[in-house]
Amino acid sequence: MLKKVIISRTDNLGDVILTLPLTGFLKLKYPELKILFIGKKYTESVINTCQNVDSFLDREKIIDKGELPDADAIIFVFPDKELAKIAKKSHIKIRIGTSHRIFHWLYCNKLVNFSRKKSHLHEAQLNFKLLKGLNLHTEVQQKDLAQYYNLKAKPLGKPEIENLINSDKINLVLHPKSKGSAREWPMKSYQNLAELLPKEKFNFFISGTKEEGQKIKDENTEIFKLENVFDVTGKFSLKEFINFIDLTNGLIACSTGPLHIAAGLGKFALGIYPSNRPMHPGRWAPIGEKATFIEADEVVGKGMESDDVTLITPEMVAKKIMESFNFH
């Protein structure tokens, strides 16, 4: 019987969030199981939001220390040579990784053979394939993944921000930037979207880092002149941003971490996607009960590939939002 498992995902925010359903599945399988999660320091807040995780482990601190806590198994969802070496040195009995990394042949003793690049499965489904190393053979359907999240945000504790939320309106976050990790919808399209939706029914919050906020202003300062649009760029730590998202009704963005956070929290999460592989929603769509997306092939032709998200019109997005919130 497994008593303690370490999950290691030491890359970007969105990838980490899409790994969290693994924790819920394991907790249901082994209710007494302790789950430790290794991540980069900046992902700590979102990992700690997951109620299935018993403890966060900072990758850099582990590297500095050169050892891992006792555990029955470690699952390298993201290959990490330095951590794999430490896992073997720390005598963790079961060390699971993909067979597609040479160093895993040296440091892991349970190799799982599958290809992410050629798969038709969602990223979160692909993560489940590694459970084969625990003799758990499971094919989880994409529609069933959301139940395994168990994310819970705490109160923001910033009255000046909390008071921006208007309980008589639909409060939506617009997160235009992705630090270059995704195809970004134009700022003018976000402005047109805000103008299309009735201002007496909707409030919008433009989010992002301080640097992204400046970039947004450089590209389109006009959006901030709309009376129901509020600038919250640069105002939050990641922990605070998670809590702020939880206060709102939902979020619209390209394929980026905050979109997956909103989806995991059970909020309306609308992603704007290209339809070319491997960036298409088949691989990276938000996972959640109220998560949805629009992709470029809805314009160029169903099933056709296009990386041009500018083809997606504000009218298409507005229609999706109005339908989702039962405005007809």
Would you state the pLDDT for residue 328?
Answer: 64
Would you state the pLDDT for residue 78?
Answer: 94
Would you state the pLDDT for residue 300?
Answer: 58
Which of the residues in the chain have pLDDT under 70? Answer: 117-118, 278, 280, 297-305, 307, 328
Q: How many CB atoms lie within 10 A of CB 211?
A: 12
Would you state the pLDDT for residue 154?
Answer: 83
Would you state the pLDDT for residue 326?
Answer: 87
Q: Which helix H or strand E contains 295, and what residues bound it?
A: strand 291-295
Q: What pLDDT digit, counting tens, does each position of 130-172 carry?
A: 999 999 978 899 999 999 999 999 887 888 888 889 999 999 9
Sequence-distant (≥ 6) Cβ neighbours of residue 304 within 8 angstroms = 275, 297
Domains and CATH numbers, the chain: 4-148 (3.40.50.2000), 159-324 (3.40.50.2000)
Please provide the DSSP assignment of 226-282 as one string.
STTEEE-TT---HHHHHHHHHHSSEEEEESSHHHHHHHHTT-EEEEEE--STTTSHH
Would you state the pLDDT for residue 303?
Answer: 60
CA 129 to chain CA centroid, Å, is 19
Would you state the pLDDT for residue 67?
Answer: 96
Let me know: does 294 contact 316? Beta carbons within 8 Å.
Answer: yes
